[in-house]
Amino acid sequence: METEGHTVKKTINRYRSFRYALILEGIVIGAISGAVVVLFRYLLSYADKILNSVLDYGKDHIWFIPVWFIFLAAAAFTVALLLKWEAFISGSGIPQVEGEMIGELDPCWWKVLAAKLGGGLLSLGCGLSLGREGPSIQLGSMAAKGFSRLTKRAKTEEKLLITCGASAGLSAAFNAPIAGVLFSLEEVHKHFSPEVLLSTMASSITADFVSKNVFGMQPVFDFQITRMMPLPTYGHVILLGLIMGGMGVVYNTCLSGTQDLYRKIPSQNTRLMIPFLSAGVFGLIYPYVLGGGHSLVEVLTSGEMMFGSLCLLLVLKFGFSMISFGSGAPGGIFLPLLVLGAVIGSIYFTAVGMVSHSLDGLLDNFIILGMAGYFSAIVRAPITGIILISEMTGSFSHLLTLSMVSLAAYVVPDLVHCAPVYDQLLHRLLLRLNPGKESSLTGEKVLVEGMIFHGSEAEGRKVSEIRWPRTCLLISLMRGEAEFVPRGETKFTAGDKIVVLCDETVQGELHRVLRDVCETVKMGHKA
């Protein structure tokens, strides 16, 4: 009991004093995670060049085509072996990071680093319609976790460092440091605090510095959008957003359905053979759909594709993205969904242009509007999407229209109660994984932050009236600038920030209580 009390005291004291230490640690994490992700991105650029050379060679030398398909089958088999060795590398990797943040998962950091790096290179290098950002976020997080474990940091501090690693991963993957910070706050950590903000900023900026030293200063999408949207065209922005919202529902629904279909195939080898061999077929007959689609956006901006070609591209790219991600191959959905959004934006622009000239000269605007709207509808992180698109295109001049399309796209899936894609994927992951995977949880004490939302069930209720999980203790309540230790009779008010000390084994249960009781607005609730 005395040892446990000492551990609790040490955890609380460390929490009170490590804000500025976290900034320094954030810089270290940014350098380490940034270097890992830059290596991954650098190797992918070479893999992409090799893929293009192989496809060009195969078109001129028919005898080489069977050799290529044999290689693709071998690559699928290798990725299946990596998934068998470390199941946590499946898919994007972002749900796995979120699962760890709420205490439900605890993967082996070095196994994930090695397997994700190899599996991601094979999957993306062979042309599967997957993105580099999800693996980059997971690689950055696991590099941060490795630093934490090797330097014996406490669990509370480790989770902040993992958040820093996620921020650094996105920043280095897309040269988007601000989006990296916002994504870590909006999607990964899901709570704002000075500790998280300062440390993730330090990490993200450092990772961006590392990335720019290797890949240069230019934005990811190197095209300039000089013309602003005229005010009379803003109705099209709203309409496009509503269309994007509906398409986002279709995307999330189809993704879930594709995963269900794949689950009916018992063999992992067979599941992976489908996208890998499909990549071989598309590489020969329609290479536009291969890979994340970075170069495809530049093709779209040229305006040379006709309406029918754009519709065909949308159907094939959408279908191959479902086939690729649903199989469980290591790779993300960020870049493919952004490209799909760009294609939908181009289709809308072209369709309007067939009956009116009111949008002439605004093709590039509708491409970025499509990206932002589709991201908001699918991921449900609109602020991250707005800033991400702005950083990726190198222009912050279109924040108003990007905000409008993102808001409209957000509303539609929210009204029909379509779950955000990463929440959906995390839920499926937790249902599928063997509970034995969590056996590495040690029972160490962890500090968890929460917020009392206006209209939530907790607002106006006493601390003692909330059914907290066992082994939980509220140690701090901040109300404005004042901080005090709450008692059982203390009543919560909207805006209160609470810190709860709990056993690591009940952290997942505590997060669910905070989400459902403290952070969910109840319709018709009266304090």
Model confidence pLDDT, tens digit, residues 69-115: 999 999 999 999 999 999 899 988 899 998 888 878 888 999 999 99
Give the Cα separation of 527 and 461 in Å (integer). Answer: 7
The pLDDT of residue 524 is: 52
The pLDDT of residue 228 is: 83
Residues in the chain: 527
**Contact by Cβ (8 Å): 326, 282:** no
What number of other Cβ atoms are within 10 A of residue 440's Cβ? 10
**Contact by Cβ (8 Å): 99, 105:** yes
The pLDDT of residue 527 is: 44
* Residue segments in the chain with a per-residue pLDDT below the cut of 50: 1-2, 4, 435-440, 526-527
Give the Cα separation of 41 and 282 in Å (integer). Answer: 23
Give the Cα separation of 8 and 115 in Å (integer). Answer: 35
The pLDDT of residue 119 is: 94
Largest CA distance in the chain: 80
For residue 346 the two structure tokens come to 């181009």
The pLDDT of residue 16 is: 53
Q: Give 364-416 as a 3 state SS string.
A: HHHHHHHHHHHHHHHHCCHHHHHHHHHHHHCCCCCHHHHHHHHHHHHHHHHHC
Going from the C-alpha of 3 to that of each of 17, 445, 472, 501, 506, the distances in angstroms are: 21, 12, 18, 16, 20
**Contact by Cβ (8 Å): 180, 147:** no
